[in-house]
Amino acid sequence: MIFRTMMATGTALALLSLMPAAAADAVLTAKVAGAQRSADSKARDAARRPAETLDFWGVKPGQTIIEVSPGGGYWSEILAPYAKDTKGHYIAATGRPDQKLPAKFEDANAYGPIHYALFNKGAAELGAPGSADVVITARNIHNWMWTPGMADAVLANIYAVLKPGGILAVEEHRSDPKPMVNDARNGYVSTQHVIDLAQKAGFKLEARSELNANAKDTKDHPFGVWTLPPVRRSAEQGKPADPSFERAKYDAMGESDRMTLRFRK
C-alpha cells in the first residue's frame, strides 16, 4: 500500500514537472495563431513552419532571445509576445541605431517591451557577455558574406553574448547540391560553409532539420533567390519591375529551399 502510494505520488510529481513545458507549448501555439500576427505572415506559415522551427531551435519560456535583422517582424510577431507572456526578453538586433521594427510593435499590450541592440558593431553593442539564451538569424548570413570579415565578426559577437550552452539558431537559403557561387551573391549558401563559419566562432553543430526544405527550388533563378516569393523580383535590384516577366513557374516553386540548423556554445 505504501509502495502504491509512493508510486502514485511519484507519478503525480512527474506529471506536475511536465506541466510548465505543456503550458509553454500552449503559449507558443497561441502566439503563432494570435491576432497580433498579420495575415501576410500567417500566409507564409506553410513555408516557414514557425511553431515547429522554434521548437527545434529550443525556444522556451523565460529566455532572453535576440533576433538578428528582424526585418518586417515575421518572427517578432511571435517571439515578442511569447517573451512577454513567459517573463522572458525579446531583443531585436538591427544594423543601425535608428533602425526599428514597424510602428505596430510599439503596442506594448500586444508585443510587450521591444528591446533593441546593434549586431554589426562590437560585441558590447549586441549585449552583455553571457546574457542571451538564444540568438536567431534567419536568412541573413548571405548578406554578411558580401563584406569581407563581417560574417566572422558578427558570429564572434553572437558567441560572446550567449550564455554557456546558449543556442545559435540558423535559417538560411541552401545552395546544396549546387555549389555556392560568388560569395552567395545569388542568396544561396552551402550548408558546409555556414557550419564552417559557426565552428570558427566556437560553436558546435548540435542538430539540423529539413523542416524548411523545398525540393521544388531549382536554385537557378534570373534574380537569385529574390526571384521567388515573398520578394518576387522581376528585374535587377534598383530597376522597375518588369510587367512582362513570366512569374508563374517561380511562384509555383514557393519560397526557397532552406537549411535549419541549431548550434550550441
User: What CATH number did the domain enclosing 55 receive?
Assistant: 3.40.50.150
Residue 19 maps to a domain: no
Residue 31 maps to a domain: no
Residue 28 maps to a domain: no
Backbone angles phi, psi at 177, to 5 degrees: -85, 0
At 190-244, the pLDDT tens digits run 999 999 999 999 999 999 999 999 999 999 999 999 999 999 999 999 999 999 9
Residue 1 maps to a domain: no
Number of folded domains that form the chain = 1
Residue 10 maps to a domain: no
DSSP, collapsed to helix, strand or coil, labels residue 201 as helix
Residue 66 maps to a domain: yes
* pLDDT at residue 122, as a whole number: 79
Is the preceding omega at residue 177 within 30 degrees of 0, hence cis?
yes
* pLDDT at residue 90, as a whole number: 98
Q: What pTM does this model have?
A: 0.89
Residue 153 maps to a domain: yes
Residue 23 maps to a domain: no
Domain that holds residue 147: 48-264
